[in-house]
Chains A and B, each alone.
Chain A
């Protein structure tokens, strides 16, 4: 569990401190993996005969895959329009 917490915090640091939008997505992936580790560990240690833990982890998988696909498509589309993927320079919607 501490491993999962450490992984989550590393991902969080990556998300908050990187300029490149793809690098931010990489950090998000690390966080999702940390959550999955926790889920599977809980499933195994508490009640391996019920399937709820593994099913939850599989749903998290599917969600992560979906979100990565859409996120990368968005980034590529933004890149085509604005020729930049540094999060600081994508500021049309700011004040």
Chain B
């Protein structure tokens, strides 16, 4: 087993176990923390796949901002969070069955494809993916338009969130 595969297996197990704990645990703060563990595993995965910028962005944005937001929201809505009472609906076995069926179907489809377990091709020498990504994001005949659209989207989300959260008092 190459070191890459070992690291992939370890991070895959980490991600799946953390994700399972996120949706199963009764304590909501624990769920948010398990999400942090899962997101960190995903960042490790990105780093293995040579997507270094994405790995760092994942840690900074997802863990540093979004997971923190979740913890804030969990703290602010504390009254309903007492850990007594069930946290999953009464008919939870239906989504579980659905999840398992969909997973089985997807796995079958994926494994039926040719070429499914090859190793990654080497990155052509001299291609600096990070620099190419930066150039592509801002060059007009690259992806500057989606980039700007994403920033407008974030602006709209920011304004919307502030308005929704503050609305009553202003």
- Residues of A participating in the B interface, judged by any CB pair closer than 8 Å: 1-3, 5-20, 22-23, 25-27, 29-30, 33, 36-37, 40-41, 43-45, 48-49, 51-52, 54-55, 57-59, 61-70, 72-77, 79-80, 83-86, 88
Size bracket, chain B contacts: 35 or more
Sort A-B residue pairs by CB-CB distance and give the 5 closest, nearest first.
Answer: A14-B23, A66-B157, A16-B95, A51-B136, A73-B161
B contact residues around A30 at 8 Å (CB): 19, 22-23, 35, 38
Contact: B42 with A19, CB < 8 Å? no
B contact residues around A70 at 8 Å (CB): 157, 160-161, 164
User: 7 A-B Cβ contacts within 8 A?
Assistant: A2-B106, A5-B103, A5-B107, A16-B94, A18-B87, A33-B39, A84-B80
Given A7-B19, A30-B38, A69-B69, the answer on whether A58 and B103 have CB atoms closer than 8 Å is no
A contact residues around B38 at 8 Å (CB): 7, 30, 33
List the A residue with the shortest CB-CB distance to B167: A77
A-B contact count (CB 8 A): 225
Partner of B31, one of A10, A13, A26, A67: A26
Question: Nearest chain B CB to A32's CB is how many angstroms away?
Answer: 9
